[in-house]
Amino acid sequence: MDWFNHNRLFDLARQGQRLTHIAAVIPLSFVFMFAAQMGAIPVFIVMAILYGFSDALITMEGFPPLEAGFWMGAQLITAFALVYVILWAWLKFVEKRPFWTLGYEAKNAFSQYGRGFLIGALMFAGAVGILALFGSVSLEQGDPAQQGLSALGGVILVLFGWVVQGGAEEALFRGWVLPVIGARHRAWIGLLVSSVIFAAIHGLNPNLSVIALLNLALYGVFAGLYTMREGSLWGISANHTVWNWVQGNFFGLQVSGMDAGGGTVFNLMETGEDWLTGGAFGPEGGLAVTLVLVASIAVTLFWKGKKDYFALSR
């Protein structure tokens, strides 16, 4: 457990001339995230000119998958790319350290990213497996043009948007908030605060529930531990990306209360009790995901296999 208190990410954060005080980190994390969202306004303006003002600008209901995948990807990229720019400016002009000290060291980047991608896909598949075990998920008959091979182009295209979105959130919460607070105070404080902020930042999502908030915080804990164990942002960025993509564009389920445009490979629907399936919020609002996250936290925290795959990547 030495990796918990004496962590590579904390060492990277200390390379600057100063560490932002926790009293500033907390409000700034909200400001940075919401300011970045303004980057998507030009995309919505262009869409409004082309298609008119309607709910379809967000849901893209009725759009061909390839077209929906393009616009969904554009929205995600422009809404989250500014997070990187804002963090770069803050690190350069305030903390006086390079951007890569967020956890973007080049060594083993590809292997870490690939492993995180695989783990994220298996984690969410595990949640779907639990739902299937309880008979709480089934295939839904939908528009054939919006699913399967017909939608594959849009499904792949929107992945680029999820790459930016997942990576940006991890850069902010696990690359900046957690290490800055952990390095200045204590590791557990950084982990706790970053996880709570991560859950709170999603507080405006539709159909939010108590279980959904719990799961968001639990994912924050898992992501924080995974990042600390690996000493890098690459793996958890991929994990976050594929979690959302598989959930919305592979299985066709809602992502944190919102529809994912771009089509879907399978079109599943929850058929059981909301406390298990998550109801209108999607699986992240149900106990099936809770079980997966608790198990993932335990494995990340207590893994003692013959090969420490986390250590091998450092």
- The DSSP line for 33-60 is HHHHHGGGHHHHHHHHHHH-SSTHHHH-
pLDDT at 143: 82
Tens digit of pLDDT for each residue in 136-152?
Answer: 999 888 888 888 898 99
Rounded average pLDDT over 235-244? 97
In this prediction, residue 308 has a pLDDT band, given cuts at 50, 70 and 90, of low
pTM as predicted? 0.93
Domain that holds residue 293: 2-312
List, for residues 151-179, the tens digit of each pLDDT value: 999 999 999 999 999 999 999 999 999 99
The pLDDT of residue 13 is above 70: yes
What is the pLDDT, as a whole number, of residue 306? 46
- Is the per-residue pLDDT at 27 higher than 50? yes
DSSP structure string for the chain? -HHHHS-HHHHHHTTSS----HHHHHHHHHHHHHHHHGGGHHHHHHHHHHH-SSTHHHH-TTS-HHHHHHHHHHHHHHHHHHHHHHHHHHIIIII---GGGGT--STTHHHHHHHHHHHHHHHHHHHHHHHHHTT-EEE----GGGBGGGGHHHHHHHHHHHHHHHHHHHIIIIIIIHHHHHHHS-HHHHHHHHHHHHHHHTTTSTT--HHHHHHHHHHHHHHHHHHHHHTSSHHHHHHHHHHHHIIIIIS---BTTB---S-BSS-EEE-S-HHHH-GGG-GGGSHHHHHHHHHHHHHHHH---SS-HHHHT-
- Cβ–Cβ under 8 Å, residues 303 and 310: yes
Residue-level pLDDT at 78: 97
Per-chain mean pLDDT for the chain: 92
Q: What is the pLDDT of residue 310?
A: 56
pLDDT at position 203 is 84
Q: Give yes or no for residue 309 having a pLDDT over 70.
A: no
* pLDDT score of 226 more than 50: yes
Tell me the average pLDDT across 88-106: 97
Share of the chain above pLDDT 90, in %: 78
Say whether pLDDT at 313 is over 70.
no
Tally of domains within the chain: 1
Confidence of residue 284 (pLDDT cuts 50, 70, 90): very high
14: Cα separation from own chain's centroid: 26
The average pLDDT across 81-91 equals: 98
- Give me the phi and psi of 56, to 5 degrees please: -65, -20
Question: CB of 202 within 8 A of CB of 255?
Answer: no
Q: Check pLDDT > 50 for residue 312.
A: no
